[in-house]
Structure 1
Amino acid sequence: MTNRRSFITNVAGLAAASCLPGTVFAQAAAPAPASTEATFARIQRTKTLRIGAVRGAAPYYNKDLASGEWGGFMIDFAKSLAASLNVKLDITETTWGNSVLDLQTHKIDLFFGMNPTPARREVIGFSEPLFQNAFTIVSKKEYKTWADLNKPEVKIAVDIGSSHDQMISRVCPNATIVRLEKADDATLALQTGRVDAQVLVWLLSLNVLKKNPSLGKMYVPMPLEATSTNLGLPKEDDKTWAETVNKWIVAERTAGKIKPTVLSNLQKFSGVKPEDVPPQIPL
Structure 2
Amino acid sequence: MVTRRDVASIVGLGAVGAMAAGALASSAVAQAADPNESTFARIRRTKKMRIGAVGGGAPYYMKDLASGQWKGFYVDIAKALADDMEAELEITETTWGNSVLDLQSNKIDIFFGLNPTPKRALVVDFSVPVFNNAFGILCKKDFKPKTWAELNSPDVKIAVDQGSSHDQVVSRLIPKAQISRLKTADDATAALQTGRVDAQCLITMLSLTVLKKNPSLGQFVLPTPIFATTSNAGFRRETDKTWRDYVNTWIDFNKGLGFIRNAIITNMELVGVTEADIPPGVSL
The bucket for the TM-score relative to the shorter chain is 0.7 to 0.9
**Distance in 2 of aligned mates of 1:126 and 1:252:** 17
Counterpart of 2:22? none
Cα distance 1:103–1:148, how it changes in 2: closer, same or farther (>3 A)? same
- Tell me by how many angstroms 1:34 deviates: 6.9
TM-score by length of 1: 0.81
Counterpart of 1:40? 40
Counterpart of 1:50? 50
- Tell me by how many angstroms 1:186 deviates: 2.4
Gaps in structure 2 of 5+ consecutive residues: 1-32
Choose between structure 1 and 2 for higher RCO, CA contacts under 8 A separated by at least 6 residues.
1
1:112-127 to 2 correspondences below 5 Å? 112-127=112-127
TM-score by length of 2: 0.81
1:49-68 to 2 correspondences below 5 Å? 49-68=49-68
Residue identity opposite 1:251 in structure 2: F
Q: Does the Cα contact within 8 Å between 2:59 and 2:209 map onto a contact in 1?
A: no
Counterpart of 2:186? 184
Deviations 1:143-178 (A, max 9, x none): 221112112222222222221111011001222223
**Distance in 1 of aligned mates of 2:240 and 2:183:** 39
Q: Secondary structure at the match of 2:279?
A: coil
1:152-231 to 2 correspondences below 5 Å? 152-231=154-233
Cα distance 1:149–1:229, how it changes in 2: closer, same or farther (>3 A)? same
- Tell me by how many angstroms 1:46 deviates: 1.8
1:66-85 to 2 correspondences below 5 Å? 66-85=66-85
Gaps in structure 1 of 5+ consecutive residues: 1-32
**Distance in 2 of aligned mates of 1:180 and 1:104:** 25
1:106-117 to 2 correspondences below 5 Å? 106-117=106-117
Number of aligned residues: 250
Q: Does the Cα contact within 8 Å between 2:58 and 2:209 map onto a contact in 1?
A: no
Higher share in helix: 2
Cα distance 1:150–1:57, how it changes in 2: closer, same or farther (>3 A)? same
- Supply the RMSD in Å over aligned alpha carbons: 1.9
Counterpart of 2:280? 279
**Distance in 2 of aligned mates of 1:87 and 1:159:** 35
**Distance in 2 of aligned mates of 1:136 and 1:127:** 24
